[in-house]
Amino acid sequence: MCLAVPAKIISISGLQAEIDIDGIRRKTSLYLTPEAREGDYVLLHAGFAIKVLDKEEAAQTLDLLRQMNVNNP
């Protein structure tokens, strides 16, 4: 039930956003993430964006994982 998926915000109107999930467009509420901006990735749960993606953290985690691959050939 805590299923949530990342989605990209295409456009915002008030606290409503149009989002894209792998080509599927839907409306979602930004009531819980009013700080979200167009182009942001958000975590989508039951019609609400519940968290905005931290891009820097995402990049750092990816770097860490890639480094583990390099160190463990």
Partner 1 sequence: MSIIHEFEKASLVQGVLKNIRSIDTGPVRLMEFCGSHTAAILKSGLRQLLPSDVKLLSGPGCPVCVTHQDDIDRMIALAAIPGVTLCTFGDMLKVPGSRGSLAEASADGADIRTVYSTLDALEIARQNPDRRVVLLGVGFETTAPTIAASIVQARDEGLANYRVFSLAKVCPPVVRALLASGEVDIDGIICPGHVSAVIGSKPFEFIPGEYAIACAVAGFEPVDILLAIEMILVQIKNHKPAVDIAYSRFVTREGNSHARKLMAEVFETVPAMWRGFGEVPASGLVVAPGFAEFDAMQDPAVAGLAIEPCSPDPGCRCGDILRGVMLPEDCPRFGKGCSPACPLGPCMVSAEGACASYYMYGRQNGG
With binding defined as CB under 8 A, does residue 71 bind partner 1? yes
Q: Which of 10, 54, 47 is nearest to 32 (CA)?
A: 47
Q: Determine contact, residues 43/50, Cβ cutoff 8 Å.
A: yes
Q: Which of 10, 17, 29, 38 binds partner 1 (CB under 8 A)?
A: 29
Q: Is residue 37 part of the contact set for partner 1 (CB under 8 A)?
A: no
Torsion of CA 26, 23, 19, 56, to 10 degrees: 150
Phi and psi at 24, nearest 5°, equal -95, 130
24 is a site residue for partner 1 (CB under 8 A): no
Among 9, 17, 33, 40, interactor with partner 1 by CB under 8 A = 33
Binding status of residue 18 toward partner 1 by CB under 8 A: no
What is the contact surface with partner 1 in residues (CB under 8 A)?
1-4, 6, 8, 29, 31-35, 41, 43, 45-48, 50-51, 53-55, 57-62, 64-72
